[in-house]
Structure 1
Amino acid sequence: MDNQRVKWVRAEDGRPMVSGVSYDRPSAEQRKTALEAEGAKDIEIAKVKPGQ
């Protein structure tokens, strides 16, 4: 399984954020969609090594 982290910038205050958990690719895509609906900016899915 590939491990993915989601990075984004909060719309409210411009604060950069990163997910606290690792996702599989389909779950990361779902999280990205949810963040887009919330108005987040610069959303990126990044591959990480297990345990990172």
Structure 2
Amino acid sequence: MDIYRVKWTRADGVRRTSVVSFDRPSAEDRVERLAAQGDVTDVEIVTVKPSQ
């Protein structure tokens, strides 16, 4: 099973990465919630290895 994290850039230019790992549907939900905030850009889902 693949696991994912979400990366995004805040309005102040700071790049962020989720601390928790998600399954794909949960990562997609997180992307939608971040987009709804309206103050983030460059939102992406990245695949990570279980040890990361």
Shared fold per TM-score greater than 0.5 = yes
**Gaps in structure 1 of 5+ consecutive residues:** none
Distance 2:25 2:51 in 1: 19
* Offset at residue 47 of structure 1 (A): 0.3
Q: Determine the structure 2 residue equivalent to 1:47.
A: 47
Where does structure 1 differ by over 4 angstroms across 4 or more consecutive aligned residues?
Answer: none
Give the TM-score normalised by structure 2: 0.91
Give the TM-score normalised by structure 1: 0.91
* Offset at residue 18 of structure 1 (A): 0.2
Aligned residue pairs total: 51
